[in-house]
């Protein structure tokens, strides 16, 4: 009989625990949890990037038909537009580093190909203390109409990065970019489509 009572007490205790767990799972989200959920977001943007000064790209030419640009740096201006109409956490001045090579040894310009990589550091005007550290890479092709209807280069780039400091600390940046370059690389502009994700 004592054994039966112990079993009944044990079942009652387990039942109370299950009811307690069930009630807890249906409880409303606390304010702190709601704040945490609101911080998780993905924001899509479009944008442009242009140099703010004409600088010599330091092109090196080689007898085998290759040309190279190594660690060329210059000031830029990034202008973004967010689809959600929220605050602009990207637009501002920056510095770009460009490295690349193009193989031009073939007589047919349509076969001229290149590979490019570099960095872009942005200081968004709307984020005090914030900085975007971005890397990029991708191929280039020659086009007779790439630069204002004249000859130049088209670069198809993949970009990734992260935010440092201010309200963007830890955020992630991803973008696809088409860059149109003058034949001598002294003029260029880029069209961006991308997203920013919260940490």
State the Cα–Cα distance between residues 46 and 187, nearest whole angstrom.
21
Average pLDDT, the chain: 83
Shared domain check, 153 and 186: yes
Are residue 23 and residue 52 in the same domain, yes or no?
no
Provide the pLDDT confidence category of residue 27 given band limits of 50, 70 and 90: very low
Domain count, the chain: 2
How much is the pLDDT for 58?
84
> Are 109 and 153 contained in the same domain?
yes
Q: pTM to 2 decimals? A: 0.78
Whether 20 and 69 map to the same domain: the answer is no
Of 141 and 184, the one with more pLDDT: 141
Let me know whether 57 and 147 are in one domain: yes
> Do 25 and 72 share a domain, yes or no?
no
Assess whether 29 and 47 both reside in one domain: no
164 against 85, higher pLDDT: 164
Residue 39: per-residue pLDDT: 66
Which pLDDT value is given to residue 19? 42
If asked whether residues 75 and 23 sit together in one domain, one would say no
pLDDT of 21 above 60? no
Domain with 26, as residue range(s), is 2-33
CATH assignment of the domain containing 181: 2.40.160
Kindly report, residue by residue over 76-121, the tens digit of the pLDDT.
999 999 999 999 999 999 999 999 999 988 888 888 999 999 999 9
pLDDT in tens, 43-79: 999 999 999 997 788 888 888 888 999 999 999 999 9
CA dihedral 43, 44, 48, 49 (to 10 degrees): 50
Q: Are residues 83 and 141 in the same domain?
A: yes
Same domain, 54 and 116: yes
118/162 same-domain check: yes
**Domain co-membership, 106 together with 171:** yes
């Amino acid at each position: 009989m004592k054994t039966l009572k112990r079993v009944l007490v044990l079942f009652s205790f387990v039942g109370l625990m299950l009811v307690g767990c069930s009630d807890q799972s249906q409880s409303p989200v606390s304010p702190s949890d709601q704040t945490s959920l609101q911080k998780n977001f993905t924001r899509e943007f479009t944008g442009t990037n242009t140099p703010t000064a004409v600088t010599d790209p330091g092109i090196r030419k080689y007898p085998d038909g290759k040309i190279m640009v190594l660690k060329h740096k210059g000031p830029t201006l990034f202008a973004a537009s967010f689809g959600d109409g929220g605050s602009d956490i990207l637009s501002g001045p920056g510095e770009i580093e460009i490295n690349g090579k193009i193989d031009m040894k073939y007589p047919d310009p349509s076969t001229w190909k290149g590979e490019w990589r570099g960095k872009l550091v942005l200081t968004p005007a709307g984020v005090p203390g914030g900085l975007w550290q971005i890397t990029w890479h991708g191929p280039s092709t020659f086009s007779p109409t790439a630069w204002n209807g004249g000859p130049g280069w088209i670069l198809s780039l993949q970009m990734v990065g992260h935010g440092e400091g201010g309200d963007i600390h830890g955020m992630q940046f991803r973008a696809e970019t088409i860059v149109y370059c003058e034949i001598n690389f002294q003029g260029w502009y880029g069209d961006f489509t991308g997203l920013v994700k919260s940490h």
